[in-house]
Chain A
Amino acid sequence: DAGITQSPRYKITETGRQVTLMCHQTWSHSYMFWYRQDLGHGLRLIYYSAAADITDKGEVPDGYVVSRSKTENFPLTLESATRSQTSVYFCASSESQRAPYNEQFFGPGTRLTVL
Chain B
Amino acid sequence: LAKTTQPISMDSYEGQEVNITCSHNNIATNDYITWYQQFPSQGPRFIIQGYKTKVTNEVASLFIPADRKSSTLSLPRVSLSDTAVYYCPYVSSNTGKLIFGQGTTLQVKP
Interface residues of A (CB under 8 A from B): 31, 33, 35, 40-45, 48, 50, 56, 58-59, 90, 92, 94, 96-100, 102-109
Contacts and interface: CB of A to CB of B under 8 A. Distances in A.
Contacts of A48: 95-97
Nearest to B93: A98
Contacts, number: 73
Nearest to A100: B49
Nearest to B36: A104
A13 to B, nearest CB: 20
Contacts of A33: 97-98
A42 B43 contact: no
A102 B93 CA distance: 9
A99 B49 contact: yes
Contacts of A103: 34, 46, 49
Given A90-B43, A92-B43, A59 B49 contact: no
A4 to B, nearest CB: 9
A97 B96 contact: yes
A104 B92 CA distance: 12
Most B CB within 10 A of own CB, among A44, A94, A106: A106
A2 B92 CA distance: 27
